[in-house]
Amino acid sequence: MTRNIYLLIIIVMLSCDMIGLWAQEGPPPVTEKDYAAGPVVQSFPLQQVQLLDGPFKHAQDLNLEHLLQYNVDRLMAPFFKEAGLTPKAELYPNWTGLDGHVGGHYLSAMAIYVATTGNQECRRRMDTMVAQMAQCQEAHGNGYVGGVPNSRAIWEQVAKGNFRLLHRAWVPWYNLHKTFAGLRDAWLYGHNSQARKVLIKLSDWCETVVANLSDEQMQRMLDQEHGGMNEVLADINKITGDPKFLALAKRFSHRQLLDPMSEGRDMLDNKHANTQVPKAVGFQRIAEIDGDPRYARAAKFFWETVVHNRSLAFGGNSRREHFPSADACIEFVEEREGPESCNTYNMLKLTKGLHRMNPLAAYADYYERALYNHILSTQHPEHGGYVYFTPARPRHYRVYSASNQGMWCCVGSGMENHGKYGEFIYSHQGSNTLYVNLFIASELNWQGKGIRVRQETSFPDEAKTRLTMLTDQPTRLALKVRHPQWVRAGSLTLKLNDKTWQTTSRSSSYIEIDHTWRDGDSLEVILPMHTTLEPMPNVPDYMAVLHGPIVLAAKTGTEDLQGLIADDSRWAHIAHGELLPLEEAPMFVSDDDSVTDQITSVAGQPMHFQARSLIQPAAYQNLTLEPFYRIHDARYIMYWRTAKSQTYRDIQAAIKQAQEEKLRLDRSTLDRVIPGEQQPEADHNLQHERSESGIYRNRSLRHAKSPGWFSYDLRIDPNKSLALYVLYWGNERGSRTVDILVDGQRLATENPVDQWNRDDFVATQYPLPADWLSGKTKITVCFNPHRGHTAGGIFDLRILEVE
């Protein structure tokens, strides 16, 4: 049955007004504003927006407390080491190989808090880090500063067009981008003039390093994750006015993404998501600066296809860090690794930039959705730790970082996230038009206009907000208030000084109130919320519940929350607790088309709901649905399988049959690497010669042609009986004899050609001799093809505990 037929069935089952943002909204219309250089609207400096009491103020304040627990000397240690200077403290050990990246994020966070709160300890730390980066830059003597391990050798080889060391290291340009961004932010947010000087010298160094590379060499270099290098170089063009940096930003723009996106072609299947999003942020920034229509089209189409086709209800995207194909979207439900927080951090950057160029309410609708449901939810509300993956699998859970441990990428972006909530609440067009984009308790001090706007609300617990103007003299101002996508046309009500302001408006638009405002004038905005269901992309049998823009979820238990607060181990950012059977998870079972009518509010408890008549099995009928961002330290359900009563048991049986072997395999797995996927390979110390990754039948793979090879490090427990699990394609052709080596000893010789003759994936297990494992905690597994042969493709590799 085709995807369209499935969608038709689900739409028939549900009333049309239950379908949410992604299923209902089309892409924003193309306008000339998309291609005009310069912003149409501008954000306010963080200094001019103060948060008032509410969930975002709590998150901002808690994050500051959490940040001040980190040791700056340890964050700076990689920079001193690479400069040949003596570090003041030992390096943080976690994510060794990406040393220095969190230092850049931390510098950005300190600068953000200088702007947001004026905190003097943050200013001291920011100034100290900048001064120490200047010291390291002087020691290098060529303008470079960074914490990238083996910096000198890597960049010397890059300058010669030799990328061997670059591609063997852990994403050096991505790492260095965080240093660029930290220095940029120390200047733009923190007004540290030394940061500007260090940044320009570093940028000059960058231009020199790639000066002799051809366009073809630049593109080969960019095949490795490189963060938002094009974005930050475009920013440096604006900071300095030097056109060479805009030209350099374009050289750092990866045509593998730029070309198809600018042509409206989605080629994101199986791509590492957060490698792609920062590139698109750079496309937008370049377009904003010089109006290049190719970059504008690419940024806009990227946003459209990710938001409308590839995002879950809470605004996040990716599973196992990659964009799945349509056929593989069911893995959102099956995998323990859901959307990555860094992806949404970067999608919000892209969204904010596109809104500056063309202030469509659709951009603010997505921003609101992702901010409340993903970003706010990724901070623990008590100890302030950060979340890496947010699983969508029913009855799984998230784990949190601890200060001074776990130097994950999402720790770095998390440091920044909770300090800049004020950036998009308001924006302005010139001095006469003010946009209210978000309904967050806050006060804007529009210094250039001489007015303050105080927004008081307990949204989403109440479906309204009040804006009060504070001004010394009457001021004419066009106030544009967002009519959100989730408020039906004609339902939004405005009361100016308690008198109804007559207006007609549609969902996902801005309402203009052109008025001469006097001190104390108030505008009440009443935003009726209703409950909707939203299907998972390409998996319409699974539904998320929203009330207004807020995703509702339910706590289902606290069993086996393994690693809830992560330690410093390499894979601690993943929730390794047991995967619970999907067929036993609560489902929505109803023969009534009005499903949302059976989701009812709990008296006296704002934003709490029950659905007793819908939920099966009966043991879960007392579950309470509440905002997902308030659920912590528990297993939860966010996506609900839907069924009719006559098919419920059959669906349970089918799910059980499909999942039984997968769960058995998961329970016996001690370690796993998915060949061809960036992060799992980096996690397992991929080493290789003449080896390539690829995709076949929607699964990633790695192979190597003789005399090439590839290897991974895998964790073991020497006290258990273990086997190596390898997944092959069951109908390979060609010459594919390979020796499988464990720490240099030949475990097996395998040739999958003509062995199974099945158009399916086939797994083989190779027992690991106990005496090979004694005294070890890891082994190196190498695939070494015979002369004239190819090793692989290898699609899955695990260490299994066997009976």
754: Cβ–Cβ under 8 A, 6 or more apart, which residues? none
DSSP letter (8 states) at residue 434: E
What is the 8-class DSSP label of residue 620?
A: G
pLDDT in tens, 739-763: 999 999 999 999 999 999 999 999 9
**664 pLDDT more than 50:** yes
Q: Which two tokens stand for residue 240?
A: 């300095």
Enclosing domain of residue 179: 68-216+226-252
Residue 272 is assigned to a structural domain of this protein = no
**Residues in the chain, overall count:** 803
Q: What's the structural domain count of the chain?
A: 2
Q: 681-722: per-residue pLDDT in tens?
A: 988 999 999 999 999 998 999 999 999 999 999 999 999 999
As a whole number, mean pLDDT of residues 185-199 equals: 98
Res 15: pLDDT: 36
Mean predicted confidence (pLDDT) in 393-406: 97
Average pLDDT over residues 491-496: 95
- Whether the CB-CB separation of 10 and 541 falls below 8 Å is answered with yes
Provide the mean pLDDT of the chain: 94
* Calpha distance 307→300 (Å, rounded): 11
The answer to whether residue 328 is domain-embedded is: no
Find the mean pLDDT for residues 168-188. 97
Instruction: Give Cα separations from 421 to 59, 315, 339, 416, 775 (angstroms).
Output: 9, 16, 21, 10, 50
Residue 266, in any domain of the structure: no
Tell me which amino acid residue 296 is: A
> What mean pLDDT is predicted for residues 568-593?
95
Q: Residue 565: inside a domain, yes or no? A: no
Q: pTM, whole model, 2 decimals? A: 0.94
**What is the per-residue burial (b if ≥16 Cβ within 10 Å, else e) of 665-704?**
eeebeebbbbbbbbbbbbbbbbebeebebeeeeebbbbbb
Question: Is there a contact between 462 and 606 (Cβ–Cβ < 8 Å)?
Answer: yes
The pLDDT tens digits for 253-291 are 999 999 999 999 999 999 999 999 999 999 999 999 999
Q: In angstroms, what CA-CA distances link 76 with 171, 176, 783?
A: 19, 13, 38
Pairing of strands 539-547, 722-729: unpaired
In a domain, residue 485? The reply is: no
pLDDT mean over 481-508: 93
Bond before 617 cis per omega within 30 degrees: yes
Bridge partners, residue 320, by sequence: none
Question: What is the rounded CA–CA span in Å between residue 5 and residue 43?
Answer: 44
Least Cα distance to 523 among 443, 466, 561 occurs for 466
Which CATH number characterizes residue 796's domain? 2.60.120.260
Q: For 419-434, how does the pLDDT look when each residue is reduced to its tens digit (9 = 90+)? A: 999 999 999 999 999 9
CA distance 113 to 110: 5
For tokens 């080629």, the residue is 267
Tens digits of residue pLDDT in 45-81: 999 999 999 999 999 999 999 999 999 999 999 999 9
Residue 504 has pLDDT above 90, yes or no: no
Q: What tens digit of pLDDT does each residue of 144-153 get?
A: 999 999 999 9
Query: Which single residue is written with the structure tokens 């999907």?
Result: 582
Helices (H), 478-536: none
Which pLDDT score is estimated for 448?
86
For the four alpha carbons of 310, 311, 317 and 318, in that order, the dihedral sign comes to: negative
Per-residue pLDDT band at 362 (split at 50, 70, 90): very high
Q: Residue 4: which pLDDT band, with cuts at 50, 70 and 90? A: very low
For residue 9, pLDDT over 60 is answered with: no
Euclidean distance between CA atoms 529 and 548, whole angstroms: 5
Arithmetic mean of pLDDT, 163-172? 94
pLDDT of residue 678: 86
Q: State CA 248 to chain mean position distance.
A: 26
pLDDT value of position 35? 57
Is residue 172 a contact partner of residue 92, using CB atoms and an 8 Å limit? no
Per-residue pLDDT band for 36 (boundaries 50, 70, 90) equals low
**CA dist 465 to 201, 459, 462, 494, 638, Å?**
47, 7, 8, 10, 27
Asked if the model's pLDDT at residue 445 lies above 70, the reply is yes
Of 670 and 29, the one with more pLDDT: 670
- Examine residue 156 and state whether it is found in any structural domain, yes or no: yes
Q: What tens digit of pLDDT does each residue of 335-346 get? A: 999 999 999 999
714 lies in a domain? yes
In a domain, 443, yes or no: no
pLDDT digits (tens, 9 = 90+) for 770-779: 999 999 999 9
